[in-house]
Amino acid sequence: SEVTKPKGTLPKGAEQQQVSSNSGNSEKSRKEQLEEYERDYLKRIEQQRIEDEQSYQEAVEDAVKSRTNATHSALPKGFEPKPTPPEQPKTSRGTLPKGF
């Protein structure tokens, strides 16, 4: 099995082929390739970030919905939290209609 493993990184023929496939000035086209790759990479990263953000928002909304439902269904009747304080004892001023 030792003999079948290649010792170098690339066979010489493949490396030369890659360089010759680039147009004219290999230095410039290599740089252009890198810049193009970088632009594509940044686009992909940004797209991935947007998708992650959207899925995170959806997960948060789902969690909030399920938590809200769980909170309401977990409380027995008569134990709903009341946002308003209990009624103050009535003072007879005669300005409010009956029942208030």
pLDDT tens digits, one per residue of 21-46: 444 555 678 999 999 999 999 999 99
pLDDT at 83: 58
| pLDDT band of 17, cuts 50, 70, 90 | very low
CA 31 – CA 47 distance, rounded (Å):
24
pTM: 0.35
- Going by the DSSP 8-state scheme, the letter that residue 53 receives in this structure is H
- Neighbouring C-beta atoms of residue 32, cutoff 10 Å: 13
Per-residue pLDDT tens for 47-100? 999 999 999 999 999 988 887 665 455 556 666 556 555 556 555 555 666 776
Token code pair at residue 58: 């959806």
Per-domain boundaries in the chain? 26-66
pLDDT at residue 28 in the model: 77
Residue 1 has pLDDT above 60, yes or no: no
